[in-house]
């Protein structure tokens, strides 16, 4: 008898892999019944990742959004699933255990059935509590493998991880092929081995389309016993996103699997609605290049979701690198050559850094080290001359155990800097914090919300939640959209992504006419201190910086991005406070 394959629509990840924001709650509730009418989805990915943080950033209550968004699917018997990052929860840095424990309780009450948990380093210690807390809350625990391709990441490596996750109580296993670089035959063997050892465990495959393997991988894992396939739909499918449900359905049907029919009238309506959301405001943040696949990703393994930001970073560094090459008497490079050089540098240093799977935030850390290496070598300096604090945290084991050994020169560099390696349980570094957040809510007269959902949001996204409650977030978002629309109207033929680049007002350049500007390397909030303390202040004038040294952190919609100085010098002045929203390219300080 032919085996049945079910589909899950990754509506959240479709948006996150394409741009900065996802639809508003009124838009989500508009399309939800249409998705139900398509009749082909057993599951829908509704929230998690940066979803709720983004809600707060544009002034919308994420708890109301999740409850309203899941309601129609709950009524139709379609399971809702979310994505969380184990130790990092729904953010980019560690989360206290009591906050992690509260999360599935809140999400289950809001209508979410399945918690997909992944650790970017595949450290089972970080996933143990995710599994425990999900099951305590009555959710299905789906533990995810962060898929990549290396001599370390073999079928045996992943199967041994699965054994631990099942031992902890995981109900399902997801193959999170975040860059789409998992090789089809290997993924097929992995699924077959999982099913052989744990036949009661469901397997769900999630593969991005970037390097072009995803359709072949889908067929291989289906033949090997996968139960559910993640799919997307136009106008956001393919490119750096996911395969379209129409193509996946046709392929699997031809292969002899039982697959659901698609109501094409409903598909076209959902397609139309999604496009209308893009036309409303979301398209202002979507990089057209994310619609294009690239075989260059096969070698470097960088995930499609970060390609847009990476290309912008590279453009920002292009002139500085060429200036350094010119000073050193070396020939300048074109942008395309620099892109290839970056991919090759990532491919070179990745094994030296212990093979961290290139998924958020470790993909950003590895890319940052590679980019600074290129700058250092252009200046005649050796590799690894400048490594930022967050990348060192990964190297030293504070986020979890790296899959492979570090290169001897990295170990030696750590010792030279007086750094200590950490081999304890990463969670131990984050003490419980809910009592302090409860005190803050009581002091402000804030309601903890139904099922403590407002308490959870403050504890998980404290900075963004405070801005939401004060109204600053909504004001900032409205101003941001108005600015982008105005700039786009001036250059209607330019791609939407072009308006993300900041500008330097004349009065700022006149203030320090002979100084070198320090510019924001991403769009987001400037953080002088990572504890998000409103009292944090910029560094004092007179401080000396080495080339490539971290100046501040920028909290973008998808990551905590280090903002490093390009050239060394003495700080003269800064012009932004803690939490100030800046655009990529905006001046935030000056040095000489």
Same fold yes or no, 6-285 and 501-591: no
Give 322's pLDDT tier (boundaries 50, 70, 90): confident
> How far apart, in whole angstroms, are the C-alpha atoms of residue 73 and residue 244?
20
pTM of the model: 0.81
Radius of gyration of the chain (CA): 23
- Mean pLDDT score, 344-367: 90
**CB-CB neighbours of 550 under 10 Å:** 17
**CB-CB neighbours of 13 under 10 Å:** 24
Instruction: Name the architecture of domain 501-591.
Output: Beta Barrel (2.40)
Q: pLDDT per residue over 1-48, tens digit each?
A: 689 999 999 999 999 888 888 999 999 999 999 999 999 999 999 999
Q: pLDDT per residue over 107-159, tens digit each?
A: 999 999 999 999 999 999 999 999 999 999 999 999 999 999 999 999 999 99
Please give the backbone phi and psi of residue 569, each rounded to the nearest 5 degrees, phi first. Answer: 160, -175
**CB-CB neighbours of 108 under 10 Å:** 19
Domain ranges for the chain: 6-285, 295-427, 501-591
pLDDT at 494 over 50: no
Q: Partners of 589 in the beta sheet?
A: 518, 574
Select from 514, 548, 515, 550 the least CA-distant residue to 530: 550
Q: pLDDT per residue over 366-382, tens digit each?
A: 988 998 899 889 888 99
In 3-state terms the chain splits into helix, strand, coil percentages (rounded to 5) of: 50, 15, 35
Assign 3-class secondary structure to 338-399.
HHHHHHHHHHHHHHHCCCCCCCCCHHHHHHHHHHHHHHHHHCCCCCCCCCCHHHHHHHCCCC
Q: Are 501 and 130 in contact (CB under 8 A)?
A: no
Crossing angle of the two packed helices 97-109 and 124-136, in degrees rounded to 10: 40
pLDDT at 501 over 50: no
Q: Could you tell me whether strands 581-582 and 524-527 are parallel, antiparallel, or unpaired per DSSP bridges?
A: antiparallel
pLDDT at 312 over 80: no
Select from 166, 145, 165 the least CA-distant residue to 155: 145
Q: Are 480 and 581 in contact (CB under 8 A)?
A: yes
Q: What is the pLDDT of residue 554?
A: 83
Q: Are 115 and 140 in contact (CB under 8 A)?
A: yes
Q: Are 111 and 146 in contact (CB under 8 A)?
A: no
- 6-285 has which fold? TIM Barrel (3.20.20)
Q: What is the pLDDT of residue 491?
A: 55
> How far apart, in whole angstroms, are the C-alpha atoms of residue 358 and residue 364?
8
């Amino acid at each position: 008898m032919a085996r049945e394959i079910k589909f899950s629509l990754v509506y959240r990840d479709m948006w996150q892999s394409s741009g900065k924001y996802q639809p508003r709650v009124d838009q989500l509730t508009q399309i939800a019944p249409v998705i139900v009418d398509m009749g082909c989805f057993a599951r829908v990915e509704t929230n998690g990742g940066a979803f709720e943080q983004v809600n707060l950033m544009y002034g919308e209550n994420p708890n109301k959004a999740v409850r309203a968004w899941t309601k129609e699917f709950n009524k139709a018997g379609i399971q809702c699933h979310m994505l969380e990052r184990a130790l990092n929860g729904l953010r980019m840095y560690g989360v206290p255990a009591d906050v992690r424990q509260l999360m599935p309780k809140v999400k289950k009450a809001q209508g979410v059935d399945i918690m997909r948990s992944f650790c970017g380093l595949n450290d089972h210690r970080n996933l143990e509590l995710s599994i425990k807390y999900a099951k305590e809350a009555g959710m299905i625990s789906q533990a995810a493998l962060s898929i990549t391709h290396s001599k370390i990441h073999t079928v045996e490596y992943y199967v041994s991880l699965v054994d631990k996750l099942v031992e902890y109580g995981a109900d399902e296993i997801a193959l999170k092929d975040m860059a789409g670089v998992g090789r089809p035959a290997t993924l097929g063997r992995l699924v077959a081995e999982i099913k052989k050892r744990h036949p009661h465990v469901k397997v769900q495959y999630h593969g991005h389309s970037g390097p072009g393997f995803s359709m072949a991988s889908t067929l291989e894992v289906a033949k090997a016993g996968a139960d559910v396939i993640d799919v997307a739909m136009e106008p956001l499918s393919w490119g750096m996103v996911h395969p379209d449900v129409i193509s996946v359905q046709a392929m699997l049907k031809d292969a002899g699997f039982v697959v659901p029919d698609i109501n094409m009238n409903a598909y076209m309506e959902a397609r139309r609605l999604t496009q209308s959301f893009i036309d409303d405001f979301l398209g202002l943040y979507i990089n057209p290049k994310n619609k294009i696949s690239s075989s260059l990703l096969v070698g470097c393994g960088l995930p499609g979701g970060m390609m847009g930001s990476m290309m912008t970073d590279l453009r920002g560094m292009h002139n500085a690198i060429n200036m350094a090459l010119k000073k050193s008497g070396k020939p300048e490079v074109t942008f395309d050559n620099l892109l290839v050089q970056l991919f090759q540098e990532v491919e070179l240093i990745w094994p030296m850094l212990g093979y961290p799977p290139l998924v958020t935030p470790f993909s950003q850390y590895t890319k940052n080290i590679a980019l600074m290496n290129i700058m250092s070598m252009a200046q005649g300096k050796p590799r690894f001359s400048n490594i930022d604090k967050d990348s060192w945290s990964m190297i030293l084991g504070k986020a979890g155990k790296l899959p492979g050994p570090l290169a001897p020169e990295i170990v030696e560099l750590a010792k030279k800097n007086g750094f200590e390696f950490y081999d304890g349980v990463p969670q131990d570094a984050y003490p419980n914090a809910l009592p302090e957040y409860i005190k803050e809510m009581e002091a402000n007269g804030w309601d903890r919300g139904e099922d403590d959902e407002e308490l959870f949001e403050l504890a998980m996204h404290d900075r963004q939640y405070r801005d939401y409650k004060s109204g600053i977030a909504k004001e900032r978002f409205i101003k941001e959209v108005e600015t982008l629309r105005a700039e786009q109207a001036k250059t209607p033929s330019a791609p939407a992504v072009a308006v993300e680049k900041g500008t330097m007002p004349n009065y700022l350049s006149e203030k320090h006419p002979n100084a070198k500007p320090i510019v924001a390397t991403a769009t987001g909030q400037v953080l002088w201190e990572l504890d998000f303390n409103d009292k944090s202040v910029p560094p004092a004038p007179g401080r000396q910086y080495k080339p490539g040294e971290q100046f501040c952190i920028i909290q973008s919609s998808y990551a905590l991005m280090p903002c490093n100085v390009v050239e060394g010098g003495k700080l003269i002045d800064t012009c932004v406070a803690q939490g100030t929203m800046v655009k990529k390219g905006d001046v935030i300080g000056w040095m000489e």
